[in-house]
Every structure is written in C-alpha cells, then in structure tokens.
Chains A and B, each alone.
Chain A
Amino acid sequence: MKKLLKNEGVQSLLASLLCIILGLVIGYIVLLFINPSGAFDAIIDVIKNFFNYSKSALQMKNLGNTLAKTAPLLMCALSVLFCYKVGLFNIGAAGQYVAGACASLYAALAWGWGWLPCLLFAVAAGALLSLIVGLLKAYFNVNEVISGIMLNWIGLYTTNMILNNVKETTSPYTLHLSSANPSAILPSMGLDKLFTNNKYVSIAIPLAILAAILIMIVLDKTKLGFELKATGFNKNAAKYSGMAEKRNIILTLVIGGALAGMGGALMYLTDYEQWMCTVSSVPGMGFNGIAAAFLGGLNPIGTIFASYFIQHITSGGAYVDKTMYCSQISDLISSLIIYLCGFVFFIKYAINLYLARHESKKDTRFTEKELSEVKAKEGGDAE
C-alpha cells in the first residue's frame, strides 16, 4: 500500500481523482444554492450523460457524439501538454483551434478540397498562428500567455470575416459539408457501425489517440524531446550545452499549434457542428484542453482519459433540468477542476509528508521495541 502511494503515477492519479470529486462536490453545492430540490438529480444527470437514455442503441449513439467531440478536445489538450512540458503555457491553443477550423472549412467549402488536404491545411494554419507566438517569445521576450490571448481574439475575428464568404444565405452558419462537399467529411472506416450508425463517428478518434501516443514517444524517447524538455527546465543551461534554445521555443509552439489546428479540423470536418459567423467569444474547446491536460497529470495517456471525462461532463450538462438549472453548470465544474489542479503539487507534497511521518514513526517504534528488548536483556542479566 505504502509502496503504491510512493509511486509518482499513483500520486498523480490520486490527485486527479481528488480534484474531480472536489469539483463535483462544489458543483453540487452551487446547485443546492440555486434550487435545493433538484440538485442531486441534476448532478447525477451531468455524470450520467448518455446513460440518461434507457435504450442501449441510443446510449451507444450518444456515446459516439461525446467521442466525436473528445477527439478535438484531446488534440487541444495535447497541444497544451506538449508546450507545458517545454515550460510554455499555450493558452493560444483556443485560437489555433479556431484557425484550424477556419482553414479546413474554407478549403472544403470554397475550394472543394478532399478531407486529407483540408486536414493538412488546418494543421498548417494552427502552426502558423502559434509561429507568431513563438517568434515573439524567442526574439522579443513577449509573454506567451498574453500574446496567445491577443491572437485568440485576432484569430476569432479573422475567422468570422473569412467564413462569412461560405455561409448559408439565410443563417449565420457555414454551409453543411454533407450537401456542399461530402468528400471533405472525414471517413468513418466502419467505425460508425459500432455506434448505432452515428455518422459523426469518424477516424478522428483513432487519429487523436495516435497523436497522443506519438507525443509520448517524442517527449520520452527521442533526442528532440530531450532537447525541448531541457530548454524548458533551464533556457540558459540548454544554450550553454549547445542547444539552439530560440529554435526550440519556436519549434515547440509550432508543434503545439499544429496539434490544436488539427483539433479544429477533426471537429468541423465531421460535420457535427457548423461554424457560426457571428460568434462573439472564443470557443471553449482550447480552454477545456487546459483542464484536460492538467487533469491527465500532464501525461499523454492520462490526457486521453481526462479529455474523455471533461467532454463527458460538458456533454452531460445538456441533460440537466432546464427549468431549474442551465447547462453551463458543467463549464463551472470543469473550471473548478482546473483551479483545483493548481493544488496537485500541494496534494503530492501532503502525501509525501504523510508517508515520511509514517515512516519515521515506524522507525521510532522499532527503536522502542529494540530498546525494550535490550532492557529485557539487561534485566535478565541483572537477575
């Protein structure tokens, strides 16, 4: 048991679970304040998500919907995670996601490209946007959080402006891919059959998981990953040992941007949602990515599960009783979880402190036992 607790991974898992539980409890308390009578049902509805349906076919179909949105979220989370491992906080993932959405939709609707070129174009767009952040950080010492936020807004307004050219005439939404250009929809490779013919389930999900594995290999097993992490730990030490620290900062952000941009394509090329050209706030996908990355203990594999969990409760918010509560309660819970993730360091510290105390207590007990043995011996001698 104690050996298990000492394990770094187990500690991370425990800390994440604690964050989730505390987040849900505080969310429940908020619901209690709003309306005590339905609070428990509401929080259960959020947790149940697609289990709210009784038929298993419908459950699978709605699980498919949640998974379809988990894929882009996972990409955004990986973007945040990758940059954070190199000591950069990529809050611009939200804007890079938007850039990816913009590029893929415009290429699909205006130029009639197929899905693969659209996807690659989105990757390039995300990378380009974060290249700006990288250049500003490396050459002008601009804090990446502030430039990232500024570019989120610039990206949002630009996207609205560009996609305004390919929108439906009567609504603010972009054209449906299924009618305008079906060749741009991501292929499903038979995956839709598993989820009661849910046409939104596509190769996006395996692609995102593949990306997570790839990121793990790059970070842990390659020279590039080692160099990037070294730059994150200490920029000057990395420079001193002959690494191109400026190039590493830029490269990290470009890779992060590419991941988030791909997330945008994985979302909108499924035709699950259309872009609303009058949207006035940056979509929450990138910000939820921050939650998923930290909840996953900054481990690519952990992030897969954390992304699913965050999307699960975000989708679950749609099932609360709308006469009493609003669906934003799930945003509240996921932002609480990020806040609590800030305490992970403290939680681990507390666990280690507990272990250390426990051990030292055992040590003293042992010496006491020894002492009494010695005393007994002494007593025996005296007899």
Chain B
Amino acid sequence: MTLLLQYTLIFASVLMLVALGGCYSEHSGVINLGLEGIMVIGALGGALMMRYLPSTLSPVLMVILVILGAVLFGVGYSSLLAFACINLKADQTIVGTALNMLGTAAATVIVKAINTAANPDDVSSTISYVQPKRAFIININGFEFNWFMLIAVVVLVIAYVVLYKTKFGLRMMACGEHPQAANSVGISVYKMRWAGVLISGAFGGLGGICYILAGVSEWKFENGVAGFGFLALAVMIFGQWKPLRIALAALLFGFFRALSNVYVGFDFLLALNIPSAVYNMMPYIISLLVLAFTSKKSRAPKAEGIPYDKSMR
C-alpha cells in the first residue's frame, strides 16, 4: 500500500511538472508537442551531472546541481522549438514531433559516445546513478520520500501565482488568447511566447529527471520516456489548462501508472490473472477515455498553434 502511494505520488509529480510546462507554453500561444523530447534531454542533463559530480558532494548541493543541469538542458533544447515556431513561423506539430525524435536520437548518440569513450567494449546507452540517487530520497518507515514530490508542490504554487496574480502571467495569457490585441497595447508577443516556451522547457526538463529517478537507478536512453510527455499533454487537457485542476488530473493518471509497477503486491489483482501488458496499457487507455469525455468542451487558449504575424493585425 505504501508502495502504491509512493509510486502514485512520484509519477503524479512527473506528470504535474511536465503538464504545467505545457500549460505555460500553450497559454502563451505555442503548442508544445516536443515535451517528450524535452523530458529526455532534461533527464540527460541531470543524469550527466550525476555521472560526473564527485559522490563525496553534500546531498543538498547534489540535488541543486542535478536540478540545475536538467533545467538548463531543458531550456536550451526548448529554444529550438521557440526559434522555429515563433521566429520562423514553422508548423508547430512538425517541429514538436521532430524534437521528440531528435531528443531520443541525440541522447542515445551522446550517451553511447560517452560510454564507448570510457570503455571501448561498452556500447550501451545506459547511465547508472545508484549512489547519487540517494541524495534525493529519504526513507520514512518504508515510504521513500523523494524531494521531487515537494518540488512539484512548490512549482505548482509558483505556477499558479505567476499565471493568475502577476502582470507577467496575465500578459502571457493574453498572447495566447488574442495576440493582436495584446500587441496593440504594447506587449511584445514574440517575447511572451519565447518566455512561455522556455518555461515549459524548464519544467519539462525537471519532469524528465524526476521520471528517471522514480523507481529505477539506471536509465537506458534508447527508450526515451515511453510517451510520458504525451500523457502529460493529456493531463493538461483534462485539467483544462488550469494549474490546480492539472494537479488533480496528475494524481489520477499517476495512480494508474503506479498500478502497473506495483500490482503484483496486491493479491486480489493477481487473482484476476490479467496479463502485465494490460496494466502497462492502462494509463494510455484511461487517457483516451478521459480525453473523449473532456475534449468536447475544451477551453484551450484561442490562439494556440497559430504563428503570430504582425502584419495580420
């Protein structure tokens, strides 16, 4: 039971972080389908930090530096999306998809190169971080508390306050609803959209490192993040682009994702004799059902997906 709670919370944290990232990007008017790729690159940034930092480092410093690595990688990578979609007015769907493929391919190439350089016989794309991982986890009576659970809550509060209570957030949302009107009162739509995409990069990177620290202590980068970026988009839509609702949606999805990890621990679930593949499919099936029921009255930002062209004002 504790295990189920632990996994639910950690997966919910991942989904919430990434979905909040998507929420910022979409409120500024850019659909960020590249979240999956951003997660992979963010995870790579964090994992590289863990690999190269000395294990004698104090846990607090370790946590901070790993997070910094993930955020920086995520922000850097998302600037590829921002540049293409905002400045060059590229199709946001194509660029997002390209970034997803590029993320996994680039991470695989980089990790393999590092592994092979260290040991010519090692051609795997795996980074292991058994020792540094301990800095993130506190064991409370068998419940493994991960710092990311707290970070996710803090990020949620900040995201909510910035979006609804500050001039910056309200202006950003204006750019996603009616960029022409926003521009006419002196708001730079390009700058706001860049900010939205870069923030989504930071949250996406954070979600990525959080995901590979959940449960396992080594990561094979060839596998990417198994569609988690898209699950986060489903969470965002289910949450109707509102931070608090996103948090609740993330808990629901996190629960179903956690089930596939821990269902063997429940006798009555084992007795049902359902193949493990069904549990693996569960989060995706649930998200399809949820989307079917919530997309009809969707409150997506009105101008999302449409490149801003000043001459159209």
Across-interface contacts of B224 in A (CB, < 8 A): 281
A335, B102: Cβ atoms under 8 Å?
yes
Question: A326–B112 Cα gap in the complex (Å)?
Answer: 7
From B94, B106, B227, B280, A294 is in contact (CB under 8 Å) with B94
CB distance from A32 to the nearest CB of B (A): 12
B93, A323: Cβ atoms under 8 Å?
no
CB distance from B44 to the nearest CB of A (A): 14
A342, B275: Cβ atoms under 8 Å?
no
Contact flags (1/0) for A207-241 with B, using CB distance below 8 Å?
Answer: 00000000000000000000000000000000000
From A154, A160, A346, B89 is in contact (CB under 8 Å) with A346
B222, A281: Cβ atoms under 8 Å?
yes
B295, A142: Cβ atoms under 8 Å?
yes
Question: A369–B113 Cα gap in the complex (Å)?
Answer: 62
Q: Is B181 an interface residue (CB 8 A)?
A: no
Q: Is B109 an interface residue (CB 8 A)?
A: yes
CB-contacts of B205-239 with A (<8 A): 222-224, 226-227, 230, 233-234, 237
Q: Is B48 an interface residue (CB 8 A)?
A: no
Q: Is B187 an interface residue (CB 8 A)?
A: no
A145, B93: Cβ atoms under 8 Å?
yes
B residues contacting A by CB (< 8 A) are 33, 80, 84-85, 88-91, 93-95, 97-99, 101-102, 104-106, 108-109, 112-113, 116-117, 120, 123, 125, 222-224, 226-227, 230, 233-234, 237, 275, 277-278, 280-281, 284-285, 287-288, 291-293, 295-296, 298
A141, B94: Cβ atoms under 8 Å?
no
CB-contacts of A1-60 with B (<8 A): 30, 34-35
With A281-B226, A326-B123, A346-B88 in contact, do A339 and B80 touch (Cβ < 8 Å)? yes
CB distance from A310 to the nearest CB of B (A): 12
Q: Which of A141, A158, A284, A291 has the most CB of B within 10 A?
A: A141
B277, A338: Cβ atoms under 8 Å?
no
Question: A149–B224 Cα gap in the complex (Å)?
Answer: 14
Q: Is A353 an interface residue (CB 8 A)?
A: no
A147, B113: Cβ atoms under 8 Å?
no
CB distance from A30 to the nearest CB of B (A): 7
B101, A335: Cβ atoms under 8 Å?
yes
Chain B residue, CB-CB nearest to A332: B105
Tell me what chain B mostly uses at the interface: helix, strand, loop, or mixed.
helix
* Cβ contacts A to B, 7 pairs, < 8 Å: A89-B93, A141-B298, A154-B288, A284-B101, A326-B116, A332-B105, A336-B98
A158, B291: Cβ atoms under 8 Å?
no
A332, B88: Cβ atoms under 8 Å?
no
CB distance from A147 to the nearest CB of B (A): 6
Q: A140-B295, A153-B284, A161-B277 known; 18 other A-B pairs, CB under 8 Å? A: A34-B117, A91-B97, A136-B295, A142-B288, A147-B288, A150-B234, A150-B284, A150-B288, A290-B97, A291-B101, A326-B123, A332-B106, A339-B102, A341-B98, A342-B88, A342-B90, A342-B98, A343-B88
CB distance from A128 to the nearest CB of B (A): 15
Chain A residue, CB-CB nearest to B300: A143
B93, A345: Cβ atoms under 8 Å?
no
Number of A-B pairs, beta carbon distance below 8 Å = 152
CB distance from A124 to the nearest CB of B (A): 21
Question: A146–B84 Cα gap in the complex (Å)?
Answer: 21
A residues contacting B by CB (< 8 A) are 30, 34-35, 89, 91, 132, 136, 140-143, 145-147, 149-154, 157-158, 160-161, 280-281, 284, 287, 290-291, 294, 322-326, 328-329, 331-332, 334-336, 338-339, 341-343, 345-346
B105, A343: Cβ atoms under 8 Å?
no
Question: A45–B256 Cα gap in the complex (Å)?
Answer: 46
A161, B275: Cβ atoms under 8 Å?
yes
Across-interface contacts of A157 in B (CB, < 8 A): 277-278, 280-281
Question: A21–B292 Cα gap in the complex (Å)?
Answer: 42
CB distance from B26 to the nearest CB of A (A): 12
B95, A339: Cβ atoms under 8 Å?
yes
Question: A136–B106 Cα gap in the complex (Å)?
Answer: 33
B102, A332: Cβ atoms under 8 Å?
yes
From A150, A284, A294, A323, B287 is in contact (CB under 8 Å) with A150
Across-interface contacts of B288 in A (CB, < 8 A): 132, 136, 142, 147, 150-151, 154
A140, B223: Cβ atoms under 8 Å?
no
Across-interface contacts of B222 in A (CB, < 8 A): 281, 328
Across-interface contacts of B230 in A (CB, < 8 A): 146, 149-150
A34, B113: Cβ atoms under 8 Å?
yes
B94, A342: Cβ atoms under 8 Å?
yes
Chain A residue, CB-CB nearest to B103: A335
